[in-house]
Amino acid sequence: MKQQYVKLFSIIFGAAFVVSGVIFGVVTAYKSNRNKMIEENNKIADEIGDVYKTFFKMESDLTAYRDEVMKSFSSYITFYADMPKGYKTVSESLEKYETMITEIEDASSYLEKKCVDKYSKLEANEKCNMYYLNLERTINTYIGDMEFFNSKIKEFNEWTEEENKSVIATTKYEKLNEFVSKKYTKYVDLNKDGTYLGQNSD
């Protein structure tokens, strides 16, 4: 009888040892995976900060360039007769403007991929939020600028019809083509908040 108790005790002890070993292994693996996830999360958060610095610099350069474009543009729309003279310059400026936005999107593609998640480092989440806001404003401002430019082209083309009919006209004006974006045609809401930041920018 005693031997049976000893045998039963040995079985129970052995089973408990195996179970505790399994539990220990699971807990250890869980902690290891959790630590790896935390490290990876922090690594991505740091990389978001680094990429955002480049993004912000490119955005700042674009803002400065946009100011130049708008100043140049305003000098050509004071009088309709001046528009043909500045048409090529403004069109080329809008093309470069669009190219700069495309380059910004390409350079910040890492943010586009990684900012769909949330991070333990609050500054990373803030950078992601600013990324969406700034890029949304940039694209929508560009579309607004392009629409403004085209509205002036439309006005000019309507003016030429009357001007060319005038019996005292000394110059015949050709109609100008509206500018067509290769990529940006619709206002965007990148952060899905129901508003289109930059749509009515000055």
Looking at the predicted structure, is the pLDDT value of residue 136 above 90?
yes
Percent of the chain past pLDDT 70, that is, above it, reads: 79
Across the range 39-45, mean pLDDT stands at 81
- For the chain, the structural domain boundaries read 44-165
Q: How far apart are the first and last CA of the chain?
A: 96
pLDDT given at position 26: 47
Question: How far is 179 from 199, CA to CA, in rounded Å?
Answer: 18
Asked if 49 contacts 124 with a C-beta cutoff of 8 angstroms, the reply is yes
Q: Helices 83-107 and 122-165 meet at what angle, rounded to 10?
A: 160
Q: How far is CA 35 from the centre of its chain?
A: 31
What single-letter DSSP state applies at residue 94? H
Say yes or no to pLDDT of 30 above 50.
no
Calpha distance 23→29 (Å, rounded): 10
Q: Report the pLDDT averaged over residues 172-192.
A: 92
Task: Report the b/e string of 80-96 with b at 16+ CB within 10 A.
Answer: beebbebbeebbebbee
State the CATH architecture for 44-165: Up-down Bundle (1.20)
| Model pLDDT, residue 73 | 83
Place of tokens 């543009």: 73
- The DSSP output letter for 199 is T
d(C-alpha 79, C-alpha 192), whole Å: 41
Looking at every residue in the chain, the average pLDDT score rounds to 83
Q: What is the pLDDT of residues 57-83, one digit of tens each?
A: 999 999 999 999 988 888 777 778 888
